[in-house]
Every structure is written in structure tokens, then in C-alpha cells.
Amino acid sequence: MINYLLRLGLSLLFITWVVSSLVFLLIHLVPGDPVSVMLGDWASPADEQALRHQLGLDRPLWQQYIHYFMGLLQFDLGTSLFFQQPVSDLVLERLPMTAYLAVMAMLIAVLIAFPLGMWAALKSGRWPDYASMTVALVGVSIPNFWLGPMLILLFSISLAWLPVSGADQPWAWVLPAVTLGTALAAILARMLRASLLEIFHEDYIRTARAKGLSNTRVYGLHALRNALLPVVTIMGLQLGTLLGGAVITEVVFDWPGLGQLLVDSIQRRDYPVVQACILIISVAYITVNALTELVYAWLDPRIRLAN
Amino acid sequence: MKWLSLLIVLAWFAMAFGAFLVGESANLVDLNKLLAMPDWQSWLGYDELGRPLFERLLLGAQTSLFVALGVVIFSALIGTSIGIYSGFMGGWVDRVITKVIDVFLAFPGLLLAIGLAAVLGPGIENVIFALVAVGWVGYARLARAQTLSLRHREHIQAARALGVSQPVILYRHLLPLILAPLGVEATFGFAGAVIAEAGLSFLGLGVQPPDASWGNMIREGTRYLLVAPHLVIVPGVALMLVVLAINVLGDRGRDRLDVKQSTPHV
């Protein structure tokens, strides 16, 4: 297990290093001069020179890279051009809101997916199966930037049950979380159904039946517990994806998280903030994935003993 | 379901080609019809600038088809070539390529596309570039895995023993065997590219007005949700139906390939 942990830790460090290097290079991909793109056409050469110096773009690339990495190690992500305050403060202020949204979305996804997936598997080949899998297919296919406005139209405007946007009012999280969680609910439901159906063919299920156990015990105790392993893995991996997908949902609902900060900063050409948001969301994604792998290895010894 | 899906995809193609016939009338402004609701004369109504929504919908179909075709073709070509080469060569080439694939998989795909689209600036070519930069990885991983499982097959060993050159082995003897799973991947890639293009355009990072994309139509429409909900409903339904249809076809393809699925249910 120690060997496994070391290997996982090293690969986590390596990938974080590569990803942060790619994020560093991102600003150098701006066509032309990033400084004149940021300041617009009307900036004076003196202003441009000052900004170039502030961002360190007047130094050789390798010096910029070392400076960037030294900064990262002290969690110094530069200064926002728009807010004129440290980027790390801005990001830390928004991060909890995004994490909260992702966790609530996951919760809603689980609450929808489990009954749907189990019902489909138990009634496999009959109409409940087709109905719930059709619902799941629609769920995967609805883009969240359309589902969001439709939910607002129904629940906020027509029925006036829930707030339209923001995060100040109680229950304001419900519509964004449902919007973000729908696709995941659909994926999990399909996964759980497939996983259960596979397990129904196993010998130990036949044995449990032959022993005369009730259906509730066979399905609830023997089948569901074993079907959960792949589903839990997918849940962990998808939590990372939720962090990425939250960008669009946050914009739709004006949710004050990292994603909204990212899109606003892109429009303001505030590149230090853009870089920091991409870096933080990516690192969160990588860490969640590594933790999922760890939990999976802990649950299933075959994984950690491989290689 | 299958025939309905095929019909929807065909309708999407027809709409995209229909957009050539519409021409400039999609951008004609009629100030008397700002936000006009659908009626018998104009099936889908008018938008906030008084432009006919039906014509804009056709232009949007053309944008999404163009981007999806571009993304799938380039991603599949690049990804498959890299994957086959990596799997067939083995050794350090394979190790380096696998590491690169791992790094790309470690990035949340949509976020990388957003970052690239943000620094490259809006525009249809940049959207395609950003989505190919994210999209090739899936094909590469699949092609590599398939190649690894096939490269010791007898007919490939025989071709090698006969002195057939490596490109010919890869192209004539290996590629045809992995086309089916790649086709399924490409089908889902199509759906993914349609959603991703619309998503980037929704964020203002993709296709820019006055060019129409279903994503930027939804973006503009959300401002008038209260008075003219059809501006959001119409492009959204079109987008959902197309993605749903492609996903149904992809599922069908996968079920055909997956022997496990065809075992009788309990």
C-alpha cells in the first residue's frame, strides 16, 4: 500500500507540474501582443510598458517561468488587472461557492439516479426499464445552458417558487444544482442499471436465491453492494467533471463561483485571473480524481496490487 | 427510436444545406416585428432585432454541423494516427505518448477548450481548434488499446514475415479492424462537439453575432425570457433533439459491438 501511495503521489505531482506549466504557456498563445490585447487600442506606449513590466512579460521566457513557479509555491498568483488585488484572494473567496454547488449537484444526482437505475434493472426489458432509460438518455442530451433557463422559466417565473439567480436567498442553490446534476444523474442511472444487470447473472446471486432469501435481501444486500463499486468510482471521477461543468451553470444563474469569475475575467481580458481560475479548477479536478483512485484501491485490493 | 433518430439527423443535414438557400434574409431586420411570437405567417417568430427565427435556426444548424464535422474529422484523424502508432511501436515511444494522453485526460476537457478559446479569441476556426485540441485524446486512447490487443494477431505477424512495410500493415491490416469501435466513438464525439460548440458560443467565446449558432441564440434569448421565451425554446429544442438522436444512434452502435449486452436479461 505504501508503494502504491508513493506512486500515486508522484504521478499527482508530475501531472500538477505539467498542467501548471501549460497554464503558464496559455498567455503566450494570445495572438499578437497580449499586453495590447488586454489594454485595447487606445493605450499609451508608457501604459503598455508598465503593464508588460508588471506581468514580467519583458523578461526572457525562462525567467518568467521560474518567477511564476516561485510565486505558485507561495500561492502568489499575481495581481488582478481589473480588481487591483491579489488573484489568490479573489480565487479563495469564490472557490467554496463552486465546491458547494458541485456537492449539492452530486447529491441531487444520487437522489435521482439510484431509484431510477434500480427500478430499470429490476424491471429489465419491460416498460419501466424503457421509460427510465429514455429519461436518462434525454438527461444526457439536454445541454445545461438550456435546461437552466427552462427551469427558471417554469419554477421562478411561472410558478414563482424559487429565486431566479444569485446565491443570497435560501433555496437559491436548488435550480443551479438540479441543472448541473441532471446529466450526472442520467449517467449514474445508466451505469447502476448496467452494473446491477451484470451482477444478477453471478453465481452468488443464484445461491442467495436458492437459499430462499427474500427479494429485498438478495437485491438490497447482495446485488446493490457489489454493483456500487463501479458506480462510486464514476461518481468520484464525475465530481471533477462537475467542477468544470459548473462554469456554464454559474453563468446561467449568476452564481458567484470560480466559473463565473473565469468567464467575466475572459471578457475583461484579465488574464492573470483567467490563468488562476483554470489552474485552480484543474488542480481540484486532478486531486479529486486521485482521491477517487485511492478510495477505489482501498476498497479493491486487486487495483493496488497490480503492476 | 432508431428511425426517428435517423430522421432527425437527416433533418439537421437538410437544415444546414437549406441555410445556403436562405442567404441574407436571415439577417434582414424588420423593426415592426421585434420579439414577435410565432404565428401562421412566420412559424417560429422573430428575435430581438426583428430577424426571422426560422432562418436563424437554419444558419445555426449549418454552424453546428460545420463545427461538428470539422472537430470529429480532425480529432479522429490525429487521435487515431497517434494511437495506432503508439500501440504498434511500443517501447519508449508508447510510454511518452501514453504520458501525454494521461496529461490531457487529467485536464477537464471543457475547461481546456474554454481557456484556448479565451486566449485565441472568438471565431469558428478557433472553436474547431480548441475542441480538436481536447477531442483527439479519446480516439488516441481507444486506437492504442485496440492496436495493443490486435498487434500479435496472426495475419499481422504473417504480413510482417512477408516483409510488408509498416505503413501498409497499419493502414491495410490493422486499421480496418478497429474502425467499428472508432466509429462509435466518433458518433458520441459528434454529439459532444455539437454541445461544446453551442456551450462556447453561449459563453460568448464561440461564434459571434451576426453569425448564428444555437448557443449564441440561446445566450441572446435569455435576456428576453420573460417576454419572448420562444427565442430560447426554439434553438434549445433543436439542439436537444439533434444531440439526443446522435446519442441514440451511438448507443445502438455500441450495443451491436458489445457482446455482453446481448445476454438475456433476468
Residues B173-227 have pLDDT tens digits of 888 888 888 998 899 999 999 999 999 999 989 888 888 899 999 999 988 888 8
Q: What is the pLDDT along chain A (307 residues), one digit of tens a residue?
A: 788 888 888 888 888 888 888 888 887 777 767 777 777 777 788 888 888 888 777 888 888 888 888 888 888 888 888 888 899 999 999 999 999 999 999 999 999 998 998 888 888 888 888 888 888 888 888 999 999 999 998 988 888 888 887 777 788 888 999 999 998 999 899 888 888 888 888 888 888 888 888 877 887 777 887 777 778 778 877 877 787 778 999 999 999 999 999 999 988 888 889 889 999 988 888 888 888 888 777 777 666 666 4
* C-alpha distances in Å from residue A105, one per residue of A56, A108, A235, B18: 40, 5, 11, 40
A182 min Cα distance to partner chain B (Å):
14
Nearest CB among B102, B108, B119 relative to A30 is that of B119
B209 touches chain A (CB under 8 A): no
Length of chain A: 307
Q: Which of A34-38, B102-106, B228-232 has the lowest mean pLDDT?
A: A34-38
Contact yes or no for A133/A126 (Cβ under 8 A): no
Q: Please judge whether B222 and A149 are an interchain contact, meaning their C-beta atoms are less than 8 angstroms apart.
A: yes
Residue B264 pLDDT exceeds 50: no
B103 min Cα distance to partner chain A (Å):
6
* Distance of alpha carbon B179 from alpha carbon B193, whole angstroms: 20
> Is position B150 within any domain?
yes
Q: Please judge whether A149 and B225 are an interchain contact, meaning their C-beta atoms are less than 8 angstroms apart.
A: yes
Q: Which positions 99-118 of B are in contact with A (Cβ < 8 Å)?
A: 102-103, 106-112, 114-116, 118
Nearest CB among B108, B191, B199 relative to A145 is that of B199
Q: Please judge whether B203 and A263 are an interchain contact, meaning their C-beta atoms are less than 8 angstroms apart.
A: yes
Best mutation target, A7, A145, A201, A202, to test chain B (most B CBs within 10 A): A145
Q: Sort residue A31 into left (φ over 0), alpha (ψ -120 to 50) or beta.
A: beta
Domain of residue B145, CATH code: 1.10.3720.10
**What's the DSSP call for residue B40?**
S
Q: Please judge whether A197 and B244 are an interchain contact, meaning their C-beta atoms are less than 8 angstroms apart.
A: no
Best mutation target, B216, B242, B266, to test chain A (most A CBs within 10 A): B266
Q: Please judge whether A145 and B218 are an interchain contact, meaning their C-beta atoms are less than 8 angstroms apart.
A: yes
Q: Please judge whether B240 and A146 are an interchain contact, meaning their C-beta atoms are less than 8 angstroms apart.
A: yes
Question: Which amino acid is present at B51?
Answer: R
> Is position B23 within any domain?
no
Range of B140's domain?
64-257
How many Cβ atoms from other residues are within 10 Å of residue B205's Cβ? Answer: 27
Best mutation target, A141, A201, A237, to test chain B (most B CBs within 10 A): A141
pLDDT tens digits, A34-81: 777 777 777 788 888 888 888 777 888 888 888 888 888 888 888 888
Strands (E) across chain A are located at none
Question: Which amino acid is present at B116?
Answer: L
B195 min Cα distance to partner chain A (Å):
7
A158 min Cα distance to partner chain B (Å):
9
Q: Please judge whether A145 and B121 are an interchain contact, meaning their C-beta atoms are less than 8 angstroms apart.
A: no
Contact yes or no for B41/B32 (Cβ under 8 A): no
Prediction pTM value: 0.87
> Is position B245 within any domain?
yes
| Prediction ipTM score | 0.85
Q: Please judge whether A152 and B225 are an interchain contact, meaning their C-beta atoms are less than 8 angstroms apart.
A: yes
Q: Backbone phi, then psi, for A2, in 5-degree steps?
A: -65, -40
Nearest Cα neighbor of A241 from B242, B192, B70 is: B192
- Provide, as residue numbers in chain A, all residues whose Cβ is less than 8 Å from the Cβ of B137: none
> Is position B173 within any domain?
yes
Q: Please judge whether B115 and A278 are an interchain contact, meaning their C-beta atoms are less than 8 angstroms apart.
A: yes
Q: What share of chain A is helix, strand, coil (3-state, %, to 5)?
A: 80, 0, 20
Side-chain-facing half-sphere of A221: CA atoms under 13 Å: 10
Which residues, at least 6 apart from A200, have a Cβ–Cβ distance to it below 8 Å? A121, A223, B266
Question: Which amino acid is present at B128?
Answer: I
Residue linked to cell 503598455: A48
> Is position B191 within any domain?
yes
- Provide, as residue numbers in chain B, all residues whose Cβ is less than 8 Å from the Cβ of A285: 106-108, 111
Give helix then strand counts, H and E, for chain B.
10, 0
- The alpha carbon dihedral of B28, B30, B35, B39 has a sign of negative
Q: Sort residue B108 into left (φ over 0), alpha (ψ -120 to 50) or beta.
A: beta
B262 touches chain A (CB under 8 A): no
How many Cβ atoms from other residues are within 10 Å of residue B258's Cβ? Answer: 12
> Is position B35 within any domain?
no
A87 min Cα distance to partner chain B (Å):
17
Contact yes or no for A249/A257 (Cβ under 8 A): no
Three cell numbers, residue A80: 488582478
Q: Please judge whether A289 and B198 are an interchain contact, meaning their C-beta atoms are less than 8 angstroms apart.
A: no
B208 touches chain A (CB under 8 A): no
B81 touches chain A (CB under 8 A): no
Can you list the pairs that A294-298 forms with residues at least 24 positions away whose Cβ atoms lie under 8 Å? A294/A5, A294/A8, A295/A232, A295/A236, A296/A229, A296/A232, A296/A233, A296/A236, A297/A1, A297/A4, A297/A8
Q: Sort residue A169 into left (φ over 0), alpha (ψ -120 to 50) or beta.
A: beta
Helix, strand or coil, per DSSP, at residue A198: helix
Contact yes or no for A145/A214 (Cβ under 8 A): no
- Provide, as residue numbers in chain A, all residues whose Cβ is less than 8 Å from the Cβ of B121: 31
B46 touches chain A (CB under 8 A): no
> Is position B174 within any domain?
yes
> Is position B51 within any domain?
no
Three cell numbers, residue A12: 499527482
Q: Backbone phi, then psi, for B121, in 5-degree steps?
A: 90, 160
Q: Domain total for chain B?
A: 1
Q: How much is the pLDDT for A267?
A: 85
Length of chain B: 266
